[in-house]
Each structure stands twice: as C-alpha cells, then as structure tokens.
Amino acid sequence: MNVMIVLGTRPEIIKMAPIIRELRTRRRRFSLVHTGQHYSYEMDRTFFKSLGLPAATVNLNVGSGTHGAQTAKILHRIEQVLLELKPDVVLVEGDTNSVMAGALAAVKCHIPVGHVEAGLRSFDRRMPEEINRIVADHVASFLYAPTPLAARQLRKEGIAVGKILVTGNTVVDSLDWIKKNPALAATVRSLGFSPGRFLLTTIHREENVEDRRRLAGIVDGLHRVARHFDMPVVFPAHPRTKGRLNRWGLENSLKLKNIRLLPPLDALPFMALQTHARLVLTDSGGVQEESCILRVPCVTLRDNTERPETVAVGANLLAGADPGKILAASVRMSNRARSWKNPFGDGRSGRRIVDHLSSIFH
C-alpha cells in the first residue's frame, strides 16, 4: 500500500496526524504533500514536530491568492508529484482549496481518493468551503464520514452506500494525544493568562473577514463580551484577519478593550488555551468540534454551521455577526452545564481508516 496524504492548512495537519501516526506504526508506505495554502512549510515545521509527525515529502509552496489562482497552482504542481510518486490512493481532509485541487488532480490521474471528514454541509453555497467539500465528496472513492448524520447526507446526494464508512472524527484521536502533554496548564500561564479566567476567539472565514460590516459587528460583540465577563479575550489572529482589522481601523480599538491580539499559535499553545478557556467564540468549524470534545462552551460567529451535531448536543450556539446576539449567546453558553455527550467518536478514527485502506490495498 502506497498512500499519499495531501494537506495545506494547520487544521488539516491536526486531523491527518492520527492517520499518519497509524501508518508509521504499521510501517506502511506513505508520502506527505504540503501545499502551503495558508503558510509555508517552513512556518509549519514546528507544527509537524509538536504533533509527532515526520517532515513533509514534498512542499508545493503555492502561497495565498484568489481561489482560482490558488486552486490552479495546486492542480498544476501536484499533478507532476502524483505521476512521480504513483500512490495507490490519495487522502484529503476537510474543505479547503487543497482538498478540492488534490482530489481533482488525483481522479484525473485515475488514482482513487479517500475523503476524510466527508458529508459535512452548511447548505450555503456562497461559502467556498461548501463547494470544496461537495466536489471532493462526489469524486472520492472512499468517504470517511465522521458521524451518522454526515453519512445520511451523502446517501441523500446519491452516493453509493458501499463508498461510505462512518469512522468518527480524527480530531478526537488528536485531542486525546495532545491532552497527554502535561505542560498544557503551564503553557497557558506562560502566555500570561490564568486557566478559566479568559475567553478565546478565532476569526478567519471569508464571509466575516472580507465584509467590513460583519467584521465590525464581531469586534463590537467581542468588546461587549469582554466587558460583561470582565475577562480578556485572547485573539490569535490569522494574517489575513489582522490585515483587514488594520485596513478598516479596527485593530487599535481591540487593544483598548481588553482584547489581546496574538500571532498564529502552534498546536500545543493553542490547544492549551482552548482547553482552559471559559468560553470560545469562533467561525472555525474545527474549533467548534474541538471545543465540543473538550467540553468548553462555544459561540459560533456565523449564521450556519456544517457541524450541527455541536448545536444538537448543547455545546454550541450560532450568533452570526450581530453584537447583541454574540453577547446573549455568550451569556447563555457560559451558564450551560458542561455535561454534553461527544458526538464525534471514540478516538479510534485513524485506526479505522487505515484498517479500511489496508483491506483494499495490500
């Protein structure tokens, strides 16, 4: 068995890590292709190290750009890699441009694709992520659905039952691995915060950061939340988000309102903050999942979510970009008992996926 794993963003690295570690443990042949969609491989090198992963086999270094330009670069550069390495199967994860381009390039080279975290839907096709995940699902040969709900959605879209396997979500595996690190609480203090005495936010979705009105509404909401709880809001800012905050004159107002801007963080420092936050406010699908699994209340700064399981179990509320709704949702979630059930599996998803591939590619 010769597996190629394509990844391009830090959430993909986290969610592919259990599969990579399982392949290494079994001494199965694999390669890692890092597209560099959000960061260069050099910037992600410490991320690989902290998750116990080997170095990338190939770095495409596509960098940022428009959706069309970025997708085209990945398609163009990865095709030659596929022809050279000749994998039996290509694995992609999630909903990024790297996922769609990697899946398309593979099927055009007549190489089967496995889509990890298949079947998620926000039902909002204005989101580029929604288009990416739909395309990947419909060209893939193996669809690894994280939940029964995701599997039902795939069947509704006419995908053959035999292609679908409910595996749980690999993020549970990764969180179980990360939580074994004894330094998490100490890491929070080293960053200057006290466990349980801060709020955590992430904002990166195009629908928010490219819309001045929405971004200003979210910033106002963060001001209100920080004032209500009398706690700092810790804000590791994606470079594009920080650029928009600066362009629209919002960055200075954040600094005056007990909101602490930080650069993007490595896996362990971010997970330490997330584990010990009083509340998380985010537009990230992955952070919604992680907060649910960690039993940290979450408020989602979007009007929809492709992770409805988090809302259904009581771990998450949608607030959009309205300041009043953000505050109201934050107060409700902060008072909610952290007793919800984790809907994303038992932490053996990586093993199930490698088991399935091993049964097909000997």
CA distance 138 to 58: 26
Backbone angles phi, psi at 277, to 5 degrees: -75, 150
CB-based contact 272:190 (threshold 8 Å): no
Q: Residues 207, 127, 114, 154: is their CA dihedral positive or negative? A: positive
Cα 274 from Cα 287, distance rounded (Å): 9
User: Any idea which residue has 């086999």 for tokens?
Assistant: 57
The residue among 322, 275, 276, 278 whose CA lies nearest residue 303 is 322
Alpha-carbon distances of 325 from 28, 153, 308, 319, 329, rounded to whole Å: 49, 29, 19, 5, 6
* Active-site hit among 204, 223, 238, 276: 204
Q: Which of 305, 273, 238 is nearest to 95 (CA)?
A: 305
Instruction: Reply yes or no on whether 204 is catalytic.
Output: yes
Cβ neighbours of residue 325 under 8 Å, at least 6 residues apart? 221, 319
Residue 100 parent element (H or E): helix 97-108
Integer Cα distance of 59 and 212 in angstroms: 34
| Residues involved in catalysis | 204
